[in-house]
Amino acid sequence: MKLTVFGNNASCPEAGGACSSFLVEAAGKRILLDMGCASLPQLQRQCDLAELDLIVISHLHFDHCGDLFCAKYQLETRIARGQALAPLALCSPALPEWAAKELLQGEVFRHTTVFDGSQYQLEGVELTFFQVPHLVESYAVRVCAEGKILTYSGDSGPCEILACAAKGADCFLCEASLVEGQHAESNHHLMAGEAGRVAKDAHVGRLLLTHYHSEDAQQVLIQAQRCFPNASLSCIGESYEI
């Protein structure tokens, strides 16, 4: 199993950066976790969009799904220009009417609505969804393949369910939006120290931090490592063997 980071910025893309997007390669499959603003160009440096087997959207905030709309435009344009492309599998929370109308017309995507405890199977890969507290319906995702486990937190406030989702994971890809003293969003995002505590409680192998502000990066790392020493900052463009 391999994880490649195409975006990890919190809330909005920084200059030269991109919001949440992660490619998981396992069992011969390519699964994209989230497709935040400015991530599509990063993905296209390494992967043809049409070669993905599945796109998973953790929740419907644009820093996690914004470039999904651009992806739809690209694929439908390629089809209109004569390229034969099969519908691309898409998992997400229930789509509001406006988003369903925009994304699902034209059969570019084959959509599955996820819910708490739901599972999605690809040959050799199993995904399980855990609803977590956020401002909108939001899911952590546990990916099992090739004897390895990757858990992605999505966006989440503090909760016990994250430790369940991450239990025994080889890699826990977890948001760390906040550092000590930043409380305005603490009911729907995690502090770095909280990410470290979840990793410790879940007995994960490695904690990879995402959804952080670059100016806070070193404090994010220091505060997470106080609870879980095997923590590191994710980096856009980097790949990690799991």
pLDDT tens digits, 146-155? 999 999 999 9
Residue found by looking up tokens 């063997």 in the block: 241
CA distance 128 to 114: 9
CA distance 73 to 114: 23
The region that residue 174 occupies, defined by phi over 0 for left and psi between -120 and 50 for alpha, beta otherwise, is: beta
Three-state secondary-structure class, residue 241? strand
- Overall pTM > 0.85: yes
User: What separation in angstroms does the CA of 174 have from each of 74, 177, 197?
Assistant: 30, 9, 11
Q: Which domains are present in the chain?
A: 2-241 (3.60.15.10)
Three-state secondary-structure class, residue 50? helix
- Tens digits of residue pLDDT in 213-237: 999 999 999 999 999 999 999 999 9
pLDDT at 96 over 90: yes
- Residue range 121-137: average pLDDT? 97
Nearest to 207 by CA among 134, 139, 129, 152: 152
139 within 8 A of 93, measured Cβ to Cβ: yes
In this prediction, residue 135 carries a pLDDT of: 96
